Amino acid sequence: MSYSDASNLNKKTRSKVVTLPSTQRITCHECGNKKEFLEVSDGVILTTRFIQNKDGSFSQELDDSQVLGQVKFYCGDCGADLTQFHKRFLEMLF
């Protein structure tokens, strides 16, 4: 009896993990949104190097950003946590 209880529990906790075939687009499991997504980076240091020109104006040399914390991925519609798809998002980012 206790054995079947445990397997039921396993089924429940696993139902939220969604794996996608490699050709499928990322879809929010809460609202079905597949258009807008948010990438939220924690603890970011934004460093931008500028070069001052002879006339006193500045040109941006390079953008050196450092992410210290976690990068989370959210649905842009309902805000559901889609971080499990973030790796796939990076793979499809051009």
Residues that bind Zn ion (CB under 5 A): 28, 30-31, 33, 75, 77-78, 80
Quote the least distance from Cβ 11 to Zn ion, whole Å. 24
Measured CA to CA, the distance from residue 63 to residue 48 in angstroms comes to 5
37 or 71: whose CB is closer to Zn ion?
37
Nearest to 66 by CA among 83, 36, 93, 42: 42
78 or 90: whose CB is closer to Zn ion?
78
Quote the least distance from Cβ 42 to Zn ion, whole Å. 21
Nearest to 89 by CA among 72, 69, 77: 72
Measured CA to CA, the distance from residue 29 to residue 11 in angstroms comes to 17
Quote the least distance from Cβ 36 to Zn ion, whole Å. 9
35 or 87: whose CB is closer to Zn ion?
35
